[in-house]
Amino acid sequence: MTNLETYLAKFTGTEWLAAVEEMLPCIHEVDRNAVQIWFRFYPVDLHRFVEAAEDRDATLHGFAMQGQFELKDQIDTSHHFLYGHRYWKTVKAAIEAETVVFKDEPATLVEEIKAIAIVVAEKLAVERQMINAMVAIGLATLNQVGIEAFKAAAGEVEKPKASCPNRPTPSSPNAKRRLAGHPRFSQNRQQKIRHPLRQRPRPRRI
């Protein structure tokens, strides 16, 4: 077990949730609810209880648990519903690097999350508030699956379906002003375009 794993194992589920709660102002609003949902989907206390049980199957049956609930089977996929998932490959690599160099324990779990997020944000040239949630999830995943399984995961990222949350939509006033000033959308080039299905068919020549 690495020093980082030993450090993360000291925190209870309540302490993990408290750290996430403290981090919320530093997490972009697009992922604030999602990161809280993730930590309730995969509670570390339940994981530890199941792992410590003498009869694992009987314990799971007692909870009537169904479907995929173990992180070891979905290291790269459990967080698909977060916007920050698109940064997972770099976040994962940064956490793996941290397991090699981690020695001095930070004062709080929040400080460790922020320290890794700073590195990732600088590498990707994005705002740190877009990264914090994924780093918290990544560390929590490492805490449950262990370094070997964590490293074995490919780090695959699902193709993003949402655009940047700070990017204006075409219907917003700011977007319209920007498009109006863009050379491809200047006033002298704007034309009324009919939908092809609504155009009347031209009569055939006989």
Task: Quick: pLDDT tens for 24-33.
Answer: 999 999 999 9
d(CA 136, CA 31): 12
- Whether residue 38 contacts residue 82, with contact meaning beta carbons closer than 8 Å, is answered with yes
Selection from 27, 32, 35, 31 nearest residue 127 by Cα = 27
Instruction: Place 192 in a pLDDT band, splitting at 50, 70 and 90.
Output: very low
Structure tokens at 145: 């699956």
Q: What is the pLDDT of residues 57-82, one digit of tens each?
A: 776 666 655 556 689 999 999 999 99
Domain that holds residue 40: 3-152
Rounded Cα–Cα distance for residues 5 and 3 (Å)? 5
Q: Which pLDDT tens digit goes with each residue over 121-175?
A: 999 999 999 999 999 999 999 999 999 999 999 999 988 765 555 543 333 343 3
32 domain residue, yes or no: yes
Confidence of residue 95 (pLDDT cuts 50, 70, 90): very high
Contacts of 91 (CB under 8 A, 6+ apart): 84, 116, 120, 131, 134, 135, 138
Residue 122, in any domain of the structure: yes
Whether 199 is in a domain gets the answer: no
Question: Is 191 contained in some domain?
Answer: no
**Sorting pLDDT into bands at 50, 70 and 90, what band is 87?**
very high
202 inside domain = no
Return the sign of the alpha-carbon dihedral for residues 81, 146, 95, 154.
Answer: negative
Q: How many domains does the chain have?
A: 1
CB 140 within 8 A of CB 11: no
Task: Establish if 180 belongs to a structural domain.
Answer: no
Instruction: Fill in the amino acid letter for 109.
Output: L
Q: What is the mean pLDDT of the chain?
A: 81
> In this structure, what token pair is assigned to residue 194?
């009919």
**Against a cut of 0.85, is the pTM above it?**
no
Residue 104 exposed, middle or buried by CB count within 10 Å (0-12, 13-18, 19+):
exposed
Residues 6+ apart with CB under 8 A from 159: none
Q: Does 197 reside within a domain? A: no
What pLDDT, in 10s, does the model give residues 37-53?
999 999 998 888 777 77
Task: Look at residues 60, 67, 87 and name the one whose alpha carbon lies nearest to residue 158.
Answer: 87
**How far, rounded to the nearest angstrom, does the alpha carbon of residue 53 sit from its chain's CA centroid?**
31
Assigned domain for 198 exists: no
